[in-house]
Structure 1
Amino acid sequence: MGYGTLDSVLSFERSNVPPSGSLILITDTLSSEGNFLIHHFIANHLKENRHVVLVGFNQTLSHYQAIGKKLGIDLSQEKSKSLFSFIDGLTSFYCSNDTSQSTADTDASSISQSSSPIEDNLRKFYVMVKEVVAEHPVGSAVSLVIDDLSTLLFAGIQVEAVLRFVKNCRLLIEKNGGSLTLLVHGDDILMHDINYELFVKSLMYQSEYILSTRGLSSGYSRDVSGDITIARGPRNNDTSYRTASWHYKTLDNNVQFFAKGHSAGI
């Protein structure tokens, strides 16, 4: 379940899952995709019988199922036990038509005052997420995972609306004692856009943990997939938590992490 070497670096206090109410932000780049971290957190939550709601903008359910099997989890079985729910992000976002329900929801109405169809879809989409979370037992530590949040910006939604969506998702999850895990892209070419930079930095400011993957500055390497930095976010009050930076190598059913300049696992 998950990647043991990554657990030793993160050093969560209980059962290798993030503390209740925390936001874990994953930033990646085209040359060093951070999807393996998404799979890590899903696997660890399910191992501890934590409820997981996965919003997949990036991949289909079959993709997550295939990776899950390599990590020793059967998402279909977890779904049958009511521990796992999947929302097909793009399909659900563009096909939601229940306008009356979305406008009646107080939290959804606070996401954006815009009357544009696409931001109205975001309000409806939040209601859908809220309903799926509510399907799990009250107090069952439901954790929400969104892969990846950048898609909403690429769809044309304003930064402010997406950030309010995140705020509402966090409040929703805090009520359930779970955690919120987000993946966004942090490529330099994107960060040159002032609005996108504001978006990523705002998410960082709200985070307890920030995991960032980047390609090697020296270019492609057969033995190393990239760099990963794990840092304490501004909302994390554990001042003893220290930033760690490692090289990593993705394998078929595992990821190796090791100190820079070394090839042995940590």
Structure 2
Amino acid sequence: MTDSVCSALGIDRVDLRGKLTLIEEQHGSDANFLINSFISSSLEKSQGICLVLFHNTFGHYHNIGMKLGYNLNVLRERGQVSVVEPMKLIASNIHDLGHDSVDAANVDFNEKCPEEDLGVPNIMKLDPTLVRKLFLPLRNQIYELLKHQESVTVIIDDLSHLFDLRMSLRDVWFFVRYLRSLMEFEQSLSISILTHTYKADPDSCQPDLIAVGLKHISQLIIVVEPLSTGHAKDVSGKMSIRWKIDSVRTKYNWPEKASYLFKLLDRQVKVFAPGGAVLLS
């Protein structure tokens, strides 16, 4: 199941309420298994879950949940799980923008784009109306859950897709700040954000810039990256874990940064130290 991942992360022992977790999914890797681990951990603690889905669908997580032993459809009907799909909320606000694909890893902030003359918003310009339309439904869902749940975990998959919709860097950062402010006001909340990065020019790649900002404000940072040697039969990728809370690391005698290899299987994830045997399976 997901026990090996939760144990490696330490989320089976640490209370995540009031804490922000960043899951950085580097290009060429798949960190979706971490979302499933956070869902499983929250359910074991009888917490409410608010899924904010930019990438995978609710059906995707329901199907995985059935393999892992829980039914998200039933939990949704019971009011323990809620779903917000921001893409549907903002689709009406972007229909008049250009529809050509954008390589987010190669956007230059300083280069004047001819699209500006066509009325396409500048990538650094804040649109408070759009951010508000994106945030308010999420906030409402959270408070609905808090009516019946003592604590709620907000799980976002995948924040970087907002850049595919040509939202500005400031828009996305304000969205993050709104969420963080809500968590500071409601200490029973925890937030886990998965975002994709490209390891591109840090001065021009918007998803990479957001990840840098998130690393400064997160208490737990998880980085998933592909193998530098390419595909391997027995290993799916690498995962590094960094707790920025000194008291937590001291209590459990954890290093400042821990690194693992992992292998994704149909119904479980094997986690092991580089050159070592399986940690838990």
Does the 8 Å contact 1:207/1:236 carry over to 2? no
Q: CA deviation at 1:32?
A: 1.4
- TM-score w.r.t. length of structure 1: 0.83
Alignment gaps of 5+ in structure 2: 94-123
Query: Does residue 34 of structure 2 align to residue 37 of structure 1?
Result: yes
Q: CA deviation at 1:173?
A: 2.9
Q: Deviations over 1:117-161 (max 9, x none)?
A: xx6322211011111111123472111111000011222122222
Distance in 2, matches of 1:113 and 1:199, equals 15
Comparing 249-258 with 236-245, greater Cα deviation is found at: 236-245
CA RMSD of aligned residues (A): 2.3
Residue number in structure 2 paired with 1:7: 6
Aligned length: 244
**What amino acid does structure 1 have at the position aligned with 2:226?**
G
Task: From the CA coordinates, give the structure whose radius of gyration is larger.
Answer: 2
Residue number in structure 2 paired with 1:259: 273
Distance in 2, matches of 1:239 and 1:259, equals 18
SS in 1 for 2:75: helix
Q: Deviations over 1:19-70 (max 9, x none)?
A: 2110010011232110110111011112221001001110111111001111
Distance in 1, matches of 2:56 and 2:201, equals 21
Task: Specify which of 154, 158, 162 is matched with residue 172 of structure 2.
Answer: 162
Q: CA deviation at 1:226?
A: 0.6
Distance in 2, matches of 1:239 and 1:257, equals 20
Query: Does residue 261 of structure 2 align to residue 247 of structure 1?
Result: yes
**What amino acid does structure 2 have at the position aligned with 1:3?**
T
Alignment gaps of 5+ in structure 1: 97-111
Distance in 2, matches of 1:239 and 1:262, equals 22
Does the 8 Å contact 2:20/2:218 carry over to 1? yes
Does the 8 Å contact 2:54/2:161 carry over to 1? yes
With a CA cutoff of 8 Å and minimum separation of 6, indicate the structure with the bigger relative contact order: 2
Q: CA deviation at 1:113?
A: 7.9
Identity of aligned residues (%): 28
Distance in 1, matches of 2:28 and 2:203, equals 17
Distance in 1, matches of 2:146 and 2:230, equals 48
Distance in 2, matches of 1:6 and 1:79, equals 24
Query: Does residue 140 of structure 2 align to residue 131 of structure 1?
Result: yes
**What amino acid does structure 2 have at the position aligned with 1:11?**
G
Does the 8 Å contact 1:25/1:181 carry over to 2? yes
Q: Superposed, which structure 2 residues align to 1:108-257 within 5 Å?
A: 114-115=126-127, 120-138=129-147, 140-174=150-184, 175-189=186-200, 191=202, 193-233=204-244, 238-240=248-250, 241-242=254-255, 243-257=257-271
Does the 8 Å contact 1:45/1:51 carry over to 2? yes
Q: CA deviation at 1:237?
A: 5.3
- Change beyond 3 A, Cα 1:161–1:237: farther
Does the 8 Å contact 2:6/2:37 carry over to 1? no
Distance in 2, matches of 1:40 and 1:161, equals 29
Residue number in structure 2 paired with 1:60: 57
SS in 2 for 1:179: strand
Residue number in structure 2 paired with 1:108: none
**What amino acid does structure 2 have at the position aligned with 1:25?**
L
- TM-score w.r.t. length of structure 2: 0.79
Q: CA deviation at 1:185?
A: 1.1
Distance in 2, matches of 1:17 and 1:190, equals 35
